[in-house]
Each structure stands twice: as structure tokens, then as C-alpha cells.
């Protein structure tokens, strides 16, 4: 299964989707964000003519990085274990597990609100500040790499949010309804 094929993700099981989501969190936190942070720091020392733009970009990027880190933590501490529990219960007989949430609908609304802020405020602002990630001809290789990294980050987050909002969450809500109410 690969990230470019929406069709295959629509056919994926809840457990496959959760694995994909957790892997993607790790890629963003351990790989994409640190490389972008290093490239901003280098570009700030080299591309002095773009210092003002880079300072603004750095401010928004720092907000983004803090927000996405706590967002991923909330998903992994609350939603992921709960969805694994309802999936387990859906497949196995026995006593209902102790379910910590009354319904997935409330925490998912909050998570979707956070997705909206991330996409429509933070990512969009970085794209505007960085002129659609088109590096000027006199940009250093750090600045060019920075723009490539930001574009890759934007694409990864859009895809990630699409899988959560449009595939994982509706499937989890459906499974929860079956498990709790037999609908
Ligand atoms: Fe996520
Ligand atoms: Fe998310």
C-alpha cells in the first residue's frame, strides 16, 4: 500500500490506518522538522538579504512545530489507543473493554479543528511568506533545500490530514457505533 493511492487507503483496515498514521507522525517529527530547522538556521546566517523574510518564516515554523508536536501527542495518547480498543472489541468476543471516551465524535471535532488551523493558517502563511516556495536565483543551497523541505512537509501534512479526516475517522466512528450500539 502506498501513500499516493487513496483507493488503497480507503480499503485499509483500522489497524493498517493507525500504523500508517503513527509512522507518518514519526517521519514528520524525527526527519522533516529537524532538517527544516537546520536549514532555516543556516539560511539565516548565509542569505542575509532575506533575513527579514527568514525571521518571519522561522517564527511561523516554530509555531507550526510546537502545534503539530502536541497535536500528534494528543492523537497518540487519546485517539489511537481508543480506536485500537474498539477495533479489538469489534473482532473479539468477551467483556466490553473499559472505554475512556463516551463517543469519538467530540475529540474528533477538536482534532479536525486543529487540522483546519494547521492547514489554513500555519501552512498557508509559510507558503505566502516563502513566495510559494520558489527560491530566488541568488538563494544559497540552504535556502533552496529549506523551500524543498517545506513543500515536502506541506504535502505530507495535507495527505496525513486527508487520511485522518476522510478515511480513518469515519471508519472509526462507524466501528464505534457498531461496538457500542450494535447499529
Ligand atoms: Fe495525525
Ligand atoms: Fe491529525
DSSP string, 52-119: HHHHHHHHHHHHHHHHHHHHHHHIIIIIHHHHHHHHHHHHS-SSPP--S-S-THHHHHHHHHHHHHII
Flag whether pLDDT at 2 surpasses 60. no
Residue-wise pLDDT tens digits, 143-165: 999 999 999 999 999 999 999 99
**Distance of CA 33 from the midpoint of ligand 1 (Å):** 15
Residue 104 lies in a domain: yes
Residue 45 lies in a domain: yes
Q: State the pTM of this model.
A: 0.92
Domain count within the chain: 1
Flag whether pLDDT at 94 surpasses 70. no
For residue 162, what pLDDT is reported?
97
Ion ligand 2 — residues with CB under 5 Å? 164
**Distance of CA 17 from the midpoint of ligand 2 (Å):** 12
Flag whether pLDDT at 103 surpasses 90. no
Residue 121 lies in a domain: yes
Full residue range of the structural domain in which residue 37 is found: 12-181
Closest CA to 79 of 9, 179, 176: 176
Residue 6 lies in a domain: no
Amino acid at each position: 500500500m502506498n501513500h499516493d493511492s487513496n483507493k488503497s487507503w480507503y480499503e485499509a483496515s483500522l489497524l493498517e490506518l493507525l500504523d500508517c498514521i503513527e509512522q507518518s507522525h514519526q517521519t514528520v517529527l524525527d526527519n522533516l522538522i529537524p532538517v527544516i530547522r537546520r536549514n532555516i538556521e543556516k539560511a539565516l546566517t548565509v542569505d542575509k538579504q532575506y533575513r527579514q523574510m527568514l525571521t518571519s518564516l522561522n517564527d511561523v515554523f516554530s509555531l507550526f512545530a510546537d502545534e503539530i508536536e502536541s497535536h500528534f501527542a494528543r492523537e497518540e495518547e487519546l485517539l489511537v489507543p481508543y480506536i485500537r480498543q474498539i477495533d479489538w472489541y469489534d473482532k473479539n468476543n468477551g467483556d466490553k473493554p473499559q472505554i475512556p471516551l463516551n463517543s469519538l465524535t467530540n475529540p474528533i471535532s477538536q482534532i479536525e479543528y486543529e487540522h483546519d488551523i494547521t492547514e489554513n493558517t500555519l501552512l498557508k502563511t509559510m507558503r505566502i511568506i516563502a513566495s510559494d516556495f520558489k527560491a530566488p536565483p541568488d538563494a544559497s543551497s540552504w535556502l533552496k533545500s529549506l523551500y524543498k523541505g517545506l513543500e515536502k512537509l506541506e504535502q505530507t501534512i495535507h495527505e496525513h490530514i486527508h487520511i485522518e479526516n476522510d478515511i480513518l475517522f469515519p471508519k472509526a466512528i462507524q466501528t464505534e457505533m457498531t461496538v457500542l450500539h450494535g447499529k
